[in-house]
Amino acid sequence: MQTEARVGVAVEGGVRKLVQPPQQKPQQLGTVSQLLAGGVAGALAKTCTAPLARLTILFQVQGMHSNVATLRKLSIWSEASRIIHEEGFRAFWKGNLVTIAHRLPYSSVNFYAYEHYKKLLKTIPVLQSHTDNVSADLCIQFVGGGLAGITASASTYPLDLVRTRLAAQTNTTYYSGIFNALQTISKEEGIFGLYKGLGTTLLTVGPSIAISFTVYESMRSYWQSNRPNDSAAVVSLACGSLSGIASSTATFPLDLVRRRKQLEGAGGRARVYTMGLFGMFRHIIRTEGLRGLYRGILPEYYKVVPGVGICFMTYDTLKKLLADISA
């Protein structure tokens, strides 16, 4: 057989036949690359939005030790001004070092686990037979995102708790840093003190990440199918921001309760809540009203729009960059 490789034609028995060039498989990111992309994306997003994240935490926990009259006077600008005058401008990033220490492994595990849970779910016979079905894809994204969030939270939880306690400190410094906080909590509250509020966190993070990933991937797919020439970075930023708003709105009351659980007994203070999850919800509604469950939602929105957008945009950009380098 005589083959003309350049023009993709084979001559066999005097008959010319078209020869299809071998299909190149898309580049698959290795484990290290996936972890690196996810970790850097999470750390960068958290650093950029650290001031708003701290304001959110301060608002969420103020109901624990403040009376109703004080709570009504609070606003984002008054609290931001207080931080600047009493603690200095750098205080907006208080606890950011532990945030990065937490976000690097958290985001790495989160994105990595999400990719692998999706692959695993696609091997389930019921879902495998509906690979082109939109409902099946949404189910895979939702369940995969929820499992990824639970996996990442459980594996890095002590750092999340320390970050909350450092960020909640105002004028009085009880914990001087990451290691001091870990040692102090272990000594005063026991080793299980580092996992205080884990159950509520898993209840929050599971659906939050599931909603975030599902909305993000669904919107990005729809956008790219209708406007394929739009910038990938712009698409990621817009879809990521909207997915963050959706997940935060749906799970914010649970997030507020988990923050308060994390601060139970912090700094030697007496416990405020002696009831379970539903008892805490009833107590907050009774003492602070229904709006109390959404205390701090505005700075959360201001944080989520750029934060989640930057995170998804950075992750997608790094994935492409690392795939090109490995190619």
> What pLDDT is attached to residue 136?
77
User: Is the model's pLDDT at 3 over the cut of 70?
Assistant: no
Question: For position 263, what pLDDT does the model report?
Answer: 85
Q: What is the pLDDT of residues 82-120, one digit of tens each?
A: 889 988 888 888 888 888 888 788 878 888 888 889 888
What pLDDT was estimated at residue 77?
87
pLDDT for the residue 130: 63
On whether the pTM is more than 0.75, the answer is no
Question: Taken in order 244, 98, 272, 61, is the CA torsion positive or negative?
Answer: negative
The whole-number pLDDT of residue 19 equals: 45
| % of residues, the chain, pLDDT over 90 | 6
Asked whether the beta carbons of 138 and 210 are under 8 A apart, the reply is no
What strands, in cross-sheet order, belong to the sheet with 15-18?
2-4, 9-12, 15-18
Between 136 and 192, whose confidence is greater? 192
Q: Is 294 or 129 the better-scoring residue by pLDDT? A: 294
Average pLDDT, integer, range 299-316: 83
* Pairwise CA distance, residues 314 & 302, whole Å: 19
SS3 of residue 173 by DSSP: coil
Burial letters for 265-296: b for 16+ Cβ neighbours within 10 Å, e otherwise?
ebeeeeebeeeeeeebbebbeeebeeebbbbb
In the predicted structure, residue 262 carries a pLDDT above the cut 60: yes
Amino acid letter, residue 231 = S
The residue type found at 3 is T
Q: Say which range, 14-23, 186-195, 275-284, has the weakest mean pLDDT.
A: 14-23
Phi and psi angles of residue 297, each rounded to the nearest 5 degrees, phi first:
-70, -30
Report the mean per-residue pLDDT for the chain.
80
Confidence of residue 315 (pLDDT cuts 50, 70, 90): confident
Residue 321 clears pLDDT 80, i.e. is over it: yes
What local confidence, expressed as pLDDT, does residue 312 receive?
A: 79
Q: How confident is the model at residue 6 (pLDDT cuts 50, 70, 90)?
A: very low
Is the pLDDT at 177 greater than 70, yes or no?
Answer: yes
Q: Does residue 51 carry a pLDDT above 70?
A: yes
C-alpha to C-alpha distances, 117 to 109, 147, 150, 166, 206, nearest whole angstrom: 11, 7, 12, 33, 13
From start to end of 73-183, where are the E strands?
none
Question: Sorting pLDDT into bands at 50, 70 and 90, what band is 129?
Answer: low
> What is the band of 325 on the pLDDT scale with cuts at 50, 70, 90?
confident
Q: Structure tokens of 77?
A: 């600008």
Between residues 10 and 125, the one the model is more confident about? 125
CA distance 205 to 214: 14
**232 or 30, which is more confident:** 232
User: What domains can be seen in the chain, in order of their start residue?
Assistant: 31-326 (1.50.40.10)
pLDDT band at 324 (very low <50, low <70, confident <90, very high): confident
Q: How far apart are CA 141 and CA 208, in angstroms?
A: 12
CA–CA separation, 322 and 326 (whole Å): 6
pLDDT at 141: 82
Residue 293 · residue 300 · CB < 8 Å: no
What pLDDT is attached to residue 268?
A: 67
